[in-house]
Amino acid sequence: MRQQLPAHPSSVRRARHLLRAELKDTAHECLSEAAELVVSELVTNAILHTGEIIELTSSLEPQGLHVEVADRGTHIPIVASYDALASTGRGLLLVSELTDQWGAEGRPDGKTMWFRIGLASPDDSTSGTAMSVTGNHSNGSQAADAVEVVLLNFPALAHGAWHKQAKSMLRDLLLLGIDSDPAGAIESHAAAMDAMAILEEQVGAREATEDLGQLLASTVEPHASLSKVRLVVPRESVPHFTTLDRELRQAWVQAAAGRLLTPPLHREFAFFREWMCEEVRLQAAGQNPRRWIPPELPSPGHLVSVPTEAEAAVNDSDRALVGANGAGSVVAASPAAAELLGYPSAAALVGRRLLDISRAATSRRTSLASAFIS
């Protein structure tokens, strides 16, 4: 069976139906449920990460079923280990659990994701094998026409935390817009995810795959920043960083209005995103690199005010609570929070960044119950 499918949500259902028909009334019909789950994941990924027509191929073999999903994308999906609160990153774990073998093959015009499901018993040692990758599929470093972008004083820690939450916000924004404009939403999402994949492949997302405790524990130099990071960005992908910036701006607005599952990103992460996307655009146009400079946050004497009753509720609480303004600076804290974090008084917390006190909380291997007030 060979079938071309458009970049539309309905193609996922169509792929399942095609496999079901392929297996119906055969000796391998019992494989249908698992095969449909796996093909749903691979076709969804192909649609969302390329926004172009994909090709589905399947063939029956004596041992079971072989399926291929080909697309024009050059980024090989990465198996992530996201924490329990992450809303993305688990699809390929499902693929690994349900298949005997799976992998990717790079092609000059894209890639092919494939899997095999057979009649092996659940105890068979071949079940859930690791991904097999062959062929050339590096988007950045192998591109013939590419731009080298130099990111100076790169905040590696901020990138790790930002990357994970940004992917969740992009997925939420896609779900919000896909009913009204499926083609436009998928096209914009695919372009933004191309930029994200370039960052993930070349900068790495080690911090983004750790749980929150491990992430915050690493917020000390030299892990927090890198003096220089080099990105090789294909010319055709340069505009995708502008799309990424635009999509995440929209996601911030929607999240702040309570329309997304993922909460708004910390404002310092928003400044980082703007700087990084702008550096790609400007350096592609021939301008010199500009180093990342963390934004100045309000000083204790120039804090954004919060309602008196809300501030009092935090200051007088018996629980370990911290109140912060929209810039991420502490404006209120309870004595229990100060004691928990090792500060001499609650007043000593006022004016500090949430990121700083989170670092202190993790170093003491404890948790902090925080009330974020804007």
Residue 131: which H helix or E strand, with range? none
Query: What pLDDT does residue 41 have?
Result: 93
Distance CA 241, CA 146 (A): 14
> Which residues lie across from 270 on neighbouring strands?
none
Neighbours of 121 (CB within 10 A): 6
How many whole angstroms separate alpha carbon 260 and alpha carbon 247?
A: 13
Pull the structure tokens for residue 136: 């050339």
Q: Which fold has domain 2-134?
A: Heat Shock Protein 90 (3.30.565)
Residues of each domain in the chain carrying CATH 3.30.565.10: 2-134
pTM: 0.69
Say if CB 170 and CB 196 are below 8 A apart: yes
Cα–Cα distance list, 284 to 154, 195, 245, 293, 327 (Å): 18, 14, 16, 21, 31
Q: Is residue 151 helix, strand or coil?
A: strand
Phi and psi dihedrals of 152, rounded to 5?
-90, 140
- Quote the pLDDT of residue 212: 43
pLDDT at 93: 81
pLDDT of residue 327: 61
Question: Can you list the residues of the chain whose pLDDT is less than 50?
Answer: 121-128, 136-137, 139-141, 206-213, 215-223, 298-304, 362-374
pLDDT at residue 163, as a whole number? 87
Tell me whether the omega of the peptide bond preceding residue 222 falls within 30 degrees of 0, making it cis: yes
Contact 368, 337 (CB under 8 A): yes
- What pLDDT, on a 0 to 100 scale, did the predictor assign at position 216? 45
Would you tell me how many other CB atoms lie within 10 Å of the CB of residue 168?
22
Tokens matching residue 69: 């999903």
- Give Cα 341 to chain centroid, integer Å: 30
Residue 163 token pair: 């990357």
Query: Residue 251 and residue 245: Cα distance in Å, rounded?
Result: 10
pLDDT at 68: 96
Q: Which two three-digit tokens encode residue 316?
A: 């007088």
Write out 339-372 in H/E/C secondary structure: HHHCCCCHHHCCCCEHHHHHHHHHHCCCCCCCCC
